[in-house]
Amino acid sequence: MAVSRNAKTIILVILGFVIVIFALQRMGIDAHFAFYHVVPFLTAYILPWIALYWLIRLVKVIESKNYN
């Protein structure tokens, strides 16, 4: 049975998330507390840059289709 690339990616992300949670718990860091502080940082600073990157790529693709 072949597993699609998207399914493999999702499985790896979930596995990585679980490993990080267990590693933080093992080091004595409350994982929930850490993630509650990381999520606002990601939504305020990182995700807008990712959205801007993909928006620029979309504009480039649309422009290249209009010129060809």
> For residue range 6-45, what is the model confidence (pLDDT) as tens digits?
899 999 999 999 999 999 999 998 888 888 888 899 899 9
Residues 30, 22: contact at Cβ < 8 Å? no
Cα–Cα distance measured from residue 55 to residue 45, given in angstroms and rounded to the nearest whole number: 16
Quick one: pLDDT at residue 5? 86
> For residue range 45-66, what is the model confidence (pLDDT) as tens digits?
999 999 999 999 999 999 999 8
Quick one: pLDDT at residue 1? 63
Could you tell me which residues come within 8 angstroms of residue 11 by beta carbon, excluding any fewer than 6 positions away? Answer: 3
C-alpha atoms less than 13 angstroms from C-alpha of 31 in its C-beta half-sphere? 11
Quick one: pLDDT at residue 34? 81
